[in-house]
Structure 1
Amino acid sequence: MVKFIHSADLHLDSPFKSRSKMPSGILDVLMESTYNSVTRMMDHAIEEKVDFIIIAGDVFDQANRTLKSEIFMKRQFERLREAGIFAYVIHGNHDPLTNGIRTSWPDNVTVFGENVESYEMISAKGESVFLHGFSYFLDDTYENKLEDYPVNTMNDGIHIGILHGTYSKSQYGQERYTEFNLEVLNEKLYHYWALGHIHQREQLSDLPPIHYSGNIQGRHKNEYGEKGFLMVEGDDVYLTSRFVPVQELIFSEYDLEVQSLAKQDLYQTIVEFKHRLREKGRHIIQLNLVYDGEEGISDADFTEVVELLKEDERDLKQFIWIDDLRLKYLTQDNIALLNDIKATHSGNRELFKEAVNALYMDPRLNRYLDPIQDIDQEELLKEGEERLRMLMRK
C-alpha cells in the first residue's frame, strides 16, 4: 500500500487579476492565499501520514519569485522531513531550471533534472514505488520527452509518471507545452500519471488513473471553483484518488435574476444573494444581473449601489467581494441583431486580430493598451455586447 499527494501549479507570488480597487484587508488575504493553501496541503500530508507528495511543476512564478517564497517552501519541506515524508518535484514552464533556485532544499526533496529520471522509494508499508519525470530547462519547452520515459516491465512495485504538459484534446490553455495523447501515456504501463500545467482539475482516464490536480488556489475568475490537491492511495492493482479542497478563497462568476432596477430593490436583492453565498466561504466574484423588463437605471444610481456593496464587505472576514458587477437586459428588442453580431465576430479570430492590430498601430493609442498577448477576445466581445445592449436601451 502507498499513500501520496498529487499537487501542481502552486504559482507562489503569482499576481492576481482584479477589476476593482480592493480594501487593504481583502487584498492582504488575496496576496497570502496561495501560501495558506500550500500550508493546509502540508498539514493534510502530515495528518494523513502520506508517504510522499508530488508537485507536478510550477512551484513558483518565474517573473515574480521572491526570497520569501523560496524560504517558505524550504520550511514546508522541512516540516515534511520531520514527519518522514518525501517530496518529488518537477519544474514547469513558469519555474524552469535555468531560473535557478538559490535556496537549498532539505534532503527529503528530490528535484528531477532536465532529462527524464527515475527514482525509487519504499513506502511505510514496504511497497516499492518508482517515480519517473523531468523538469523544464527553459520556459518554452515544446520538446516532447515522453519517449524517454521507461516502459514498466516489472512484475512488482508501483510506477508513477510525473508530467507538466498539455493533453492534446484539452480545451484549456494557450501555452500548449509538451503536448501528449493518452495512447503514449498508456504505452508506459504505469499505475498513475500525475499531471500539471492545466489549472482545472480533470480526470483523463480511469484505468490507469491519469489526472490533472488543477492549481491549488485560483487567481482570477477563469480559475473558478474549489481548488486543492488529490489524495491518492492503493496498491499496484488500483490507486484511488479523492479531491481535497484547501483554497483560501473562491473565484466565481454568477448570474442573478433581478425583478426591479430601483436602486433600493437592486441593493437588497444582491445583499440576500451574498448572504446565501457567504455560507460557502470567501469569494471574489463577477456578478451578472439579469433583467427582463422595461425599467432602466441611471449610471449614478448603479454606481451608488456598487459603492455601497463594496463598503459592506470592507471589514468582513468572510467577505463576498464583487469584483465586477454587470447588468444584462433580456428584452427581445434587437436580440436578433445582437445574435448576428456575436455569430459574426465570436469565432472569427482573423477579423478580431485585424481590428485589434489597427489600434496598436496608432501611436496615440498603443501606449495606453495592455500587451496584445494579454487580450482576451471572449472577454472583450462580452463587454462590447453589454455596452451595445445599454446603448440600445437609451
Structure 2
Amino acid sequence: MPAESSKNLSSKKQSSTAESFRFVHASDFHLERPLGDLDELPSHLRDAMAMAPFTAGDAIFEAALSGNVDFVVLSGDLLHPQSAGPYAMSWLLNHFEKLGAAKIPVFWAAGVADDPAKWPDAVPLPPNVTLFPKDRATSTYVTRAGRTICEVIGQSSDGRSSLHVPSYEIPTTDDFTVGVGYGTSRAEALAEARIDYWALGGKHNRTEIDGGATSGAVYCGTPQGRDLNEHGAHGYSMVEVDADRNVRVHEMHCDVFRYCQIAIDPEDIANVGNIRNAMGERIARLQHDNGGRHLILGWDITLQSGDQLQSIGDSQELLAWLRQQHGHGTPSAWTANLRVRPPKQYPKSWTEEDTILGDYLRIAADHRQKDGSDLNLLAMTEQHEALPATTASLLASIPAGGQTEVMEQATLLGAELLRGGKPYWVQKS
C-alpha cells in the first residue's frame, strides 16, 4: 500500500447540484530514463532498477482502478516514444485500455518528452484517452450517470518552459474546474484563470503553489526519482472533491527506489566514536523511515580535524564496506556517492614534520590564509603541451568563489598521496 499524506483545501464556489468525485493526478513518468547517479549496476538490484519507473507507474493505474476514481489526469512527460521504445508504449497503452474497460476517462496534457507530434500515427490512442492539443486549451465535461460532475480544461505544451495561463480563461460556470497543464508558473498568474484545481506537470519534485487556485495548484512530481537531486519521496496525487466543493489532496508515494542525501558532521562522528558507526545508525534510521524501500545514498561528510580524517581510513575501502555491509540486504541501501570535505586543520605533528608532507602542508596553509586568491595554475598548464587549450583555460582561470574550495581539495589530495594513501574524495566513480 503506497504511503500517504493529505491536505484539506476548500473552494469558495458553491453549487446546489454539485456531486462528490475523485480523480488521480500523475505526471513526469519519463519511461525513457533509467535511474541515474550510479557508477555501476549492482547485479542483485539490476532488474528492480530497470523496472522501477514501470513498477511505480503500475501502482498509479492500479490505484485508479481499485479506488474507483471518476477520471485520471496526466500532466506531461510520460515518455519519449522513440527513446522509450515499443515496450514502454505497449505498457502505457495496456494501462489506458484497462482504464477504458472500467469506463474511466484519461485526460493527458503532454509535455516536452511526450510531444503529441512524436506519437506515431500508426498507434492510435484508446477512445477513453483525450490528448489535449498544443495550440489551444480545450474543455471537456466529465459526466456520471448522465450528470456533469466537473469540467476538465487542458493544453499540451507548445514548447515554452512556462504555462500559458491565458489560454485557460473560459466563461464562468457553476461546474468545478480542473486545469491540466505543463510548465512553470507563479501563483499570481495561475489565480487569474477561473480554475478550481490546477493539476500541473514539469517538476520532478512535488511542489504546491499556495494561492494558485481556490482549491489548490499542485505539481505532483515524478513517481520515481532518478538521481540525488530528486531525493525524498515521490508518487502521485489522489484528489477527492465533496458535494460542498471541499477538496482533499492525498499525496501517495509509490517509488520503488528512494534517493537520499545524507550529511554527516563532526558531532555525528564524535557521538558514536567513529564514522562507520555513524553511517550505520543513519542507514538504519532511513530504512525505518522510508517504509522498506530500496535506498540509493549520497554521503556528504564534513570533518573537523585531521584526526577525524585518520579515523575514516581509505575512502575506497569505506565505500566498499558500505556497499558490502548495507547494499545487499532486503531492502538494500546502496551507496552511489561518497564525498569527504577537507578538514580545516591537519594534525600538528604532520605540519611540523621535516618532510615533504610538512613542507607541503605549511605552504598550503599560507595559500589558504589568502583564500586562494594568489592561486595561479597557468604556469603548470604551460608545462603540458598536449593539454587541450580548453582544459588549460579552465585550469588557469579558477572563479573567485571557488578558489578556497580548490585549495582545500588540493591540500587534502596532496596530504593523502604524500602519506602513501588513496585520495579521500570520491565522486561518481
In 1, distance between residues paired with 2:71 and 2:372? 53
- CA change 1:216–1:127 in 2 (3 A) is same
RMSD, aligned CA: 3.6
1:136 aligns with 2:149: no
In 2, distance between residues paired with 1:103 and 1:312? 48
In 2, distance between residues paired with 1:224 and 1:382? 28
Matches within 5 A, 1:274-285: 274-279=283-288, 280=290, 281-285=293-297
2:253 aligns with 245
2:236 aligns with 229
Displacement of 1:301 after TM fit?
Answer: 2.5
- CA change 1:338–1:250 in 2 (3 A) is farther
1:254 aligns with 262
1:305 aligns with 2:310: no
**Does structure 1 conserve the Cα–Cα contact (< 8 Å) formed by 2:342 and 2:409?**
no
1:311-346 C-alpha deviation (Å, 9 max, x unpaired) = 23554331101101121245467799599579xxxx
- CA change 1:315–1:142 in 2 (3 A) is closer
In 1, distance between residues paired with 2:295 and 2:389? 34
In 1, distance between residues paired with 2:164 and 2:147? 31
Structure with higher Rg: it is 2
Work out which of the residue numbers 280, 291, 305 in structure 2 matches 1:293. 305
- CA change 1:147–1:100 in 2 (3 A) is same
* Secondary structure at 1:231 match in 2: strand
**Does structure 2 conserve the Cα–Cα contact (< 8 Å) formed by 1:2 and 1:124?**
no
1:213 aligns with 2:213: no
- CA change 1:322–1:142 in 2 (3 A) is closer
Count of residues in correspondence between the two structures: 350
1:270 aligns with 2:283: no
Displacement of 1:224 after TM fit?
Answer: 1.1
In 2, distance between residues paired with 1:383 and 1:322? 24
AA aligned to 1:164 is Y
Work out which of the residue numbers 13, 17, 28 in structure 1 matches 2:47. 28
Q: How high is the TM-score relative to the length of structure 2? A: 0.71
1:161 aligns with 2:174: no
Matches within 5 A, 1:349-368: 365=388
Matches within 5 A, 1:54-133: 54-61=73-80, 64-101=83-120, 102-115=122-135, 116-123=137-144, 126-133=147-154
5+ residue gaps, structure 1? 168-180, 343-354, 369-376
> What percentage of residue pairs aligned between the two structures are identical?
22
**Does structure 1 conserve the Cα–Cα contact (< 8 Å) formed by 2:207 and 2:220?**
yes
Runs of 4+ with deviation above 6 angstroms: 333-336, 380-383
In 2, distance between residues paired with 1:382 and 1:244? 43
1:18 aligns with 37
AA aligned to 1:306 is L
* Secondary structure at 2:256 match in 1: coil
**Does structure 2 conserve the Cα–Cα contact (< 8 Å) formed by 1:191 and 1:238?**
no
**Does structure 1 conserve the Cα–Cα contact (< 8 Å) formed by 2:274 and 2:312?**
no
- CA change 1:385–1:97 in 2 (3 A) is farther
In 1, distance between residues paired with 2:367 and 2:247? 52
2:205 aligns with 200
1:187 aligns with 2:187: no
5+ residue gaps, structure 2? 1-19, 347-364, 392-398, 417-429
